[in-house]
Structure 1
């Protein structure tokens, strides 16, 4: 068993068990005589993530868009100008722009958003990856040694993903996001593959997916709903903002999937959902309700209405279809006699 120094402050009850698990794992690694090289990887991983969590914790209340793209894109290229315009427009909507903090598309996103609205996750490489001048030395910049810790932060902390043209790294990052969405390892977010105006980089990618992945039945056709291909900033921003028009966020509570909503759904929309989306249910039906008591840890969202259901955790493309339907719903007519403040149950 691990021991706890009596002189150290005690952790809050809601995390003390997790801290104890970390200590126990550390003690077991020592007992298992783990190789020094492996321990160095683990120690560096924990250190990187601890610092990254600390930096991002101060900005959890702000929406963030992660922007991927080539570090080698010149400043006069259409894709660079496209990324700069995207950063500017998203910052005007009070979103933070998260990039890999290097040059090219990453610099363009930050240049458009400005230093105040930029966050960076820089990877330490012996070439081409020093942080750009917009984010350099900013407290919202995190430098990381490992790609896997960096990708975790890119995906974990974002509310939308936009991929512009890029090399192996961009394809790796974009495909990882789609894999996580398809398998339910990441909460649903909008993913946009953004070509330069009139460009075909992502259109050709989509054609490849259509011909080979779908054509050879390696994916379901509804998986195409997990991303959109555009070549204008207006379409991209419109898609992101529409995704959060009614839908706010999601989490699992008591084996039920819970959608937090900006407003309650009208009865006719709820009836349509219960009629057309039974394929998503493991049992029961879709129910509108107030917050579960288990959600009391996030008090800022406690008054939002919920849509709760026993999701079968199989078809996430269809889950995106459901979110799109919800976002098309108008607020229900207000009955003043029935208005009340939601309570935690």
Structure 2
């Protein structure tokens, strides 16, 4: 029996991971820099991404491909990118928001996916398959609990204590070391000169290091970051999402137990009945799982409906 070639793609804010398999054999597992190929023009991006996937698969277009795309925050955006990719590959394609990879990557079918990495967002589907999203507004307006937002809130907290003539909190020194300065007055200037979520996100370790050192400011920032993520889930619940299962993933929350703990504690208050799971597998596995469902679906999913994730 000819086994189908399946491809999964996880497009994050900074990295894109591509995995392809045939049967139980993983043929491709590559990570590339998102900015290296994505220019935020859907037509051009579809051509580039399809070309990259086909090239990695030895010149063969996948029979089914699923893509979790950072920045595809509405059904309309997902369907448009999906149609463009389908034109390029000729196979079945499904595009979802990258947060939607959390649930299938954890081995489940239905639930709320929460990403806390370079940015943050919470996404779910209604029983009818309509996307519900909260967050994802970028580090200037929000992205609560993300790496960049934690640094932003840490800098604001530092500003507050320095204005009051208090300079003993370990968070101050930790962030200064990350920015390679010994002048407190330059914190704002240096952060302003290094704009961008990816760059600010690199300084997030200072917040967690300071919390380990007992910084009240850092502990507060992390606690509020976890609460901010839980608040996104609360918004989805208010809009009708089923939050019986909540799967959290992303570089920051997966690597920093203090943030996950803060999120779980906040969720216990907002939705005590929710099962909150930390994704320990790469989200791209969820994309491969969705591609497998496309092939397994009886009669095959039509392209017009493929942007809705199956629910059981």
Shared fold (TM-score, shorter chain, > 0.5): no
TM-score by length of 2: 0.23
By relative contact order (CA 8 Å, sep 6+), the higher-ranking structure is 2
**Structure whose alpha-carbon radius of gyration is higher:** 1
